[in-house]
Structure 1
């Protein structure tokens, strides 16, 4: 029996996955996927995808780990494979990328938030264009489409039905085509806003214990106090985040350049 790996919820980097655990928000990180891949010991993999995307570099790592796997890999889009999640879907072996007839795929340009003068903005623009081309590589290798056409589709934020994706070679099969009974789930990445993640890391949220603001807040402190302020944070999150958001990296707090697809 194939080993099942779920790609559900937000695609996030491994170093912030613990924050999603605290909020009990569904997510997928490279470390979690790699642990499951290593535990499969060469058995066939069945990768179940229902995600609105997230961190493009985390998705790239997951894609690479799946493509490097010694056993067979089948990817199944059971709801939504949008943005970074669509890149992961491309990791299925030849003939083994499938989509439920009620599913969707969305591809688009990378995006990020950046600060600085006009030179910094030019560098950021070039970085995003390069990121778009690397994303297009995953689609190109799967479908055989030309890079130019893929970049145009990404630039238009293209939503694909199963028939569209099959016609373009981005999937190999529409599931249940000869069956009457259909089943699928749907969902969009519920990414915690970057300001909340930064607040937890730097001790800028309400109810941080006295003396912690100057030096930031560590993981254990958050866990110990989490039961007291979790409800307040979730209420604040709901009021500020009516629609799901992607993380917005702050140039002043993150040294690593990150591109996000959303």
Structure 2
């Protein structure tokens, strides 16, 4: 177990009518980072969205982190973190995997730890953050489509998620749980100095631990478009087909099931986002 008495987080899956997406503000602030050429063998890099990313074929999953820890073995590990968040359940799973590591876990917030990535950050026995870094906390986000019973079930299911996160932030910071709830309700952004002052991080990074990577603006555009399609209730398979069609300008690539005037009108506007 972790050297620090960290609480376990439990979360059951949401109903099928729900889907997670990356917070738009966090995605806009996210700048990819690349680790320096020489990395310690006992380190793990989390430098992308949390959960599998359909568009890049990448993303950070709990399976990948578990495999990396098995390779490292029972020795201290450093986690280099820069992520806008993503799938809440994958974030919880990664948090629990890290807290169960038998040796010291040090987490370096290189740039951004937002949403579910902030949950992962709390797994460190020691948390370091750059003075120009950011940590963001908010209530769990989900997009739900369905009838009133589906939506009521989704809302009920999410209540313990928020409660568990509030307990976690309060435990880490030493603040009252009511304060953590206010942070989450207000979607609060903490810079490095604020995170250390409030106890959400323990210290600043010793030095620059990363360099800016070549950003791919089209990846951000695709993710923003996917978020819009999720909010419109478009299924995962249809989202992939429609975005591929818009990118390639192939109207016949869109699935027949999606030939709806309203959806196609919305997609014609989204195509400008992808190409901008």
TM-score between both structures, scaled by the size of structure 2: 0.64
Q: Which 5+ residue runs of structure 2 have no aligned equivalent?
A: 1-39, 258-268
1:25 Cα deviation from its structure 2 partner: 5.8
Deviation at 1:85, TM superposition (A): 0.5
2:185 pairs, out of 141, 150, 155, with 155
Spell out the pairing of 1:198-209 with structure 2 (5 A cutoff): 198-199=237-238, 206=245
Asked if the contact 1:50–1:185 (Cα under 8 Å) also holds between the matched residues in 2, the reply is: no
The alignment status of 1:3 with 2:33, answered yes or no, reads no
Confirm whether residue 107 of structure 1 aligns to residue 130 of structure 2.
Answer: no
Matches of 1:109 and 1:36, distance apart in 2? 29
TM-aligned CA distance change 1:117 to 1:237, over 3 Å = closer
Matched, 1:53 2:85: yes
1:120 aligned onto 2:150: yes
CA contact (8 A) 1:63 1:91 kept: yes
Structure 1: how far apart are the matches of 2:109 and 2:209? 13
Question: What RMSD, in angstroms, separates the aligned Cα atoms of the two structures?
Answer: 3.5
Partner residue, 1:78:
110
- Residues 11/119 of structure 1: CA separation in 2 closer, same or farther (3 Å cut): same
Alpha carbons of 1:183 and 1:116: their partners in 2 closer, same or farther (altered >3 Å)?
closer
Deviation at 1:203, TM superposition (A): 10
- Per the alignment, residue 165 of structure 1 pairs with 195
Offset, 1:119:
3.5
Number of aligned pairs? 209
CA distance in 1, matches of 2:270, 2:145: 25
Aligned-pair distance for 1:205?
6.3
Give ranges in structure 1 of 5+ residues lacking alignment. Answer: 215-235, 244-262
2 CA distance for matches of 1:204 and 1:85? Answer: 26
Mapping of residues 180-259 of structure 1, within 5 Å: 185=212, 190=220, 192=223, 193=226, 195=234, 197-199=236-238, 206=245, 239-241=272-274
Is the partner of 1:145 in helix, strand or coil?
Answer: coil
